[in-house]
Structure 1
Amino acid sequence: MTLKIAIDAASAAAPFEQLRAQISGEARSGALPVGYRLPTVRGLAEELGLAANTVAKAYRALEADGVIETRGRNGTFIAAAADAAARELAAAAQGFAERAHRLGADRDTALAAARDAVRAVYGA
């Protein structure tokens, strides 16, 4: 199994975000199974033509999201993150709903705001 990452220099998304999104997507789809060992920061940076700090930033974000785990000198691996990600998403949605309610937004206005935010991030 090989890690398949492509960084689009013409993309509006920063390279670290492209890397984070692609690894996260591959892990969540199962294309990168739990326990898959990722390349080292330096190795992946060289392979992709990126700065090591760019890859390190993506790895830190992925670790914070529970997608990967670092096991010291043993390396960085895909974590069993599906449940953690679902819980975090539910908590974020709950927080949004509570904040919208405190601001006095009705249900339809809150849903419209959420849809607009999702459209802005994911595209139409």
Structure 2
Amino acid sequence: MIVEVDPSSSVPPYEQVRAGIAGRIDDGSLPVGTRLPPVRTLATDLGLAANTVARAYRELEEAGLVETAGRRGTLVAASGDAVRRRAAAATDSAYAAAAAAAYAESVAALGVGDDEAVALVRAAVHARRLAH
């Protein structure tokens, strides 16, 4: 299974799917050019609505992690390499602190509360662990 969804989590399923796939792209287990399962197939496998998986794929595409290639489907984008480089740089504590501050500003601007923002980070960390 490409990702797993925890139905008891407070994190929305689309975010669990998005974070799980993003984590696998970041760690290289989904290399550039990898074809993701079609939306309906993954939705059926996960027991989710197709619109839920489609939203996750849209957000991944907006982030530049995947690209839709017509009949070839949704593929891991070459820009995923740059994402992996940024993730590797996160071991630099100054970079990590700046990234955390930027995240805090972004979620505050969106009106996301502190508890929900932290829950989103926890979900991303959890999804990354599941991918390993």
Q: When the two structures are superposed, what TM-score results if normalisation uses the length of structure 1?
A: 0.68
Where in structure 2 are there 5+ consecutive unaligned residues? 87-97, 106-113, 123-132
Alpha-carbon distance in 2 for matches of 1:116, 1:17:
16
Displacement after TM superposition at 1:73 (Å): 1.3
Where in structure 1 are there 5+ consecutive unaligned residues? 87-110
2:104 maps to what in 1? 117
- Identity %, equivalent residues: 51
One-letter amino acid of the structure 1 residue matched with residue 53 of structure 2: V
> SS at the partner of 2:4?
coil
2:28 maps to what in 1? 30
Q: Deviations over 1:75-103 (max 9, x none)?
A: 111112232684xxxxxxxxxxxxxxxxx
Higher RCO (C-alpha 8 Å, min separation 6): 2
Displacement after TM superposition at 1:117 (Å): 2.7
**Change beyond 3 A, Cα 1:50–1:116:** closer
2:49 maps to what in 1? 51
Displacement after TM superposition at 1:40 (Å): 0.4
Counterparts of residues 1-124 of structure 1 (less than 5 Å): 3-80=1-78, 81-83=80-82, 86=86, 114=101, 117=104, 120-121=117-118, 122=121
One-letter amino acid of the structure 2 residue matched with residue 82 of structure 1: D
Q: Which has the larger radius of gyration?
A: 1
Number of positions where the alignment pairs a residue of Structure 1 with one of Structure 2: 96
One-letter amino acid of the structure 2 residue matched with residue 7 of structure 1: V
The alignment yields a C-alpha RMSD, in angstroms, of 2.6
**Change beyond 3 A, Cα 1:84–1:42:** same
Displacement after TM superposition at 1:6 (Å): 0.8
